Amino acid sequence: MFAIRYWSVVILIAAAAVGFFVWTTTGTGGRFDFKLGLDLSGGTHLVYKADTAQIEPADVADSLASLREVVERRVNAFGVGEPLVQTEQGGALGGGEHRLVVELPGITDVDEAVRLIGETPVLEFKLVREGIDPAVYGAASSTNASVFADTGLTGQYLSRATLQFGNGQGALATAPVIRVDFNPEGARLFGTITTASTGRLLAIFLDGKLLSAPVIQTPITDGTAIISGGDFTAETAREMVRNLNLGALPVPIALASTETIGATLGDEALHAGVVAGIAGFVLLSLFMIAWYRLPGLVAVASLFIYVVMMLALFKLIPVVLTAAGIAGFILSVGLAVDANVLIAERIKEELAAGKRTEPAIREGFARAWLAIRDSNVAHIIAALILFWFGTSLIKGFALVFGLGVIVSMLSAITISRTFLLALGVDTDKPVWHFLMRSGLRK
């Protein structure tokens, strides 16, 4: 029994340390502060339709993943705090249109938000058809099939872009140029194009504008190309390099809907969620203590440790908290109480059968475990289904709820059991006899 009491003290010390961590890192704006979603912090919510009609079905998933990564890099580069960028598919079973969801906390200017995402340049390399002077078509569209032949080489294959000076003689000796290095697949494609088309003109387009059309003099197999022309200045070339490094969009997107949430409204939602959580915790605690006495107090202590553990996990994972996520957290607290109620009732039955306190506690936990396990497995399955098929709002609820169910099982089966067993000794003493049994007797 000494070991049980030893571990109960260890749990209390560990819980105090975790609670201290949660308290001291809250509101600091640092790495371990709570990450608030758009509905709690305010900002802009954008939904784009992704056009995958021209993409092979087998490549859709990879293209959408690349789209998400490119847009995420772009919004991160502009200093947006904790952006959320994800792709999803509509329809009850995910058979509808593909969408890109972008949440930008702290940005309430929709036009600015759209600009951040939409100004990524489109880099294309096209072969000029035989006998045509590309200079005559300097303003031509890159889709002009009568002038330019598509090669399939775009900024999607870009590894990096760098600014250089000097790519010619005289005035061009100090002119800014952009060097682009392709990834292995792009280098292979570029090598194939230049090998098969030596002597032809290769037109370089940026956002549909013809920049230059150099002659392919020799095969280029090192995966490097030089972009010149376009009336580059040092500043415009530097900005172009930055934008190219952020990546070209691999999938065309069109803005479908926007929503702006003010910071004041977000603060009100956060305050309401916190108040609801505290009120619910206090009411549940009063009920448990009044109905089950000392076991109820143990359940409240276990519940408090559970809340501290969950808050710490929110910081460490980290979990982006939304209003729906807070609702899921509060619901998981209720489930944690439900497990403790079930345990207390089973212990009550064992005590009513005449068993001493310690054997009754052990047997009560053993009998309650099967029901707790089955109900919580059902809740976890429901959370997984919601997370798999739900939208971004539902995913936040499902993640917090599922995490809460798992942690609540841990707190009910291990922490509550350890505390009750630590207190269930020396039951011949009148005070322990009264506190342990009176609240659980029928």
pLDDT (tens digit per residue) in 138-195: 544 444 667 888 888 887 788 888 888 865 544 455 778 888 899 899 999 999 999 9
Q: What is the pLDDT of residue 139?
A: 45
Question: Cα(129)–Cα(144) distance, rounded to whole angstroms?
Answer: 11
| Residue entry with tokens 């100004």 | 119
Cβ neighbourhood burial of 137 (10 Å; 0-12, 13-18, 19+): middle
Q: Is the pLDDT of residue 119 over 70?
A: no
Give which of 122, 151, 93 is closest to 251, Cα–Cα: 122
The sheet carrying 43-50 orders its strands as: 84-89, 98-105, 43-50, 253-261
Distance between alpha carbon 330 and the CA centroid of its chain, in Å?
A: 21
- Percentage of the chain exceeding pLDDT 70: 83
Q: What is the pLDDT of residue 166?
A: 66
The token pair at 301 is: 């202590």
- Cis omega (within 30 of 0) for bond into 318: yes
Confidence of residue 24 (pLDDT cuts 50, 70, 90): very high
Answer yes or no: are the C-beta atoms of 440 and 420 closer than 8 Å.
no
Q: Where are the domains positioned within the chain?
A: 2-37+262-437, 43-111+253-259, 123-246
Q: Is the pLDDT of residue 298 over 50?
A: yes
Question: Cα(409)–Cα(400) distance, rounded to whole angstroms?
Answer: 14
With a CB cutoff of 8 Å and minimum separation 6, the contacts of 302 are: 336, 340, 411, 412, 415, 416, 419
Give which of 331, 365, 330, 329 is closest to 348, Cα–Cα: 365
Which CATH number describes the domain made up of 43-111+253-259? 3.30.70.3400
Given this chain, do its domains 2-37+262-437 and 123-246 carry the same CATH topology? no
With a CB cutoff of 8 Å and minimum separation 6, the contacts of 372 are: 339, 342, 343, 409, 412, 413
CATH topology of domain 2-37+262-437: Multidrug efflux transporter AcrB transmembrane fold (1.20.1640)
Q: What are phi and psi of 123, to 5 degrees?
A: -100, 125
Q: What is the pLDDT of residue 155?
A: 78
The residue ranges of DSSP E strands in 155-287, in sequence order, are 158-165, 176-182, 202-206, 209-212, 224-227, 253-261
pTM: 0.63
The token pair at 5 is: 């009491």
Question: Cα(64)–Cα(51) distance, rounded to whole angstroms?
Answer: 10
Give which of 99, 76, 438 is closest to 289, Cα–Cα: 438
Q: Give tens-digit pLDDT for 262-290.
A: 766 667 877 887 888 888 889 888 988 88
Q: Give tens-digit pLDDT for 185-241.
A: 999 999 999 999 888 888 888 767 777 778 888 888 898 888 776 567 888 788 777
Confidence of residue 2 (pLDDT cuts 50, 70, 90): low
Question: Cα(305)–Cα(313) distance, rounded to whole angstroms?
Answer: 12
Q: What is the pLDDT of residue 178?
A: 83
Q: What is the pLDDT of residue 13?
A: 93
Q: Give tens-digit pLDDT for 329-356.
A: 888 888 888 888 888 888 888 877 877 7
Tell me the mean pLDDT in the region 375-381: 91
| Residue entry with tokens 């934008």 | 243
Q: Are strands 43-50 and 35-36 parallel, antiparallel or unpaired?
A: unpaired
Q: What is the pLDDT of residue 189?
A: 93
Tell me the mean pLDDT in the region 14-42: 86
- What b/e sequence results for 225-236 when a residue is b if at least 16 CB atoms lie within 10 Å of its CB, and e otherwise? bebbbbebeeee
Q: What is the pLDDT of residue 169?
A: 47
Q: Give tens-digit pLDDT for 408-440.
A: 888 877 888 888 888 765 554 555 555 555 555
Q: What are phi and psi of 222, to 5 degrees?
A: -90, 0
Radius of gyration of the chain (CA): 31
Tell me the mean pLDDT in the region 362-385: 89
CATH topology of domain 123-246: Gyrase A; domain 2 (3.30.1360)
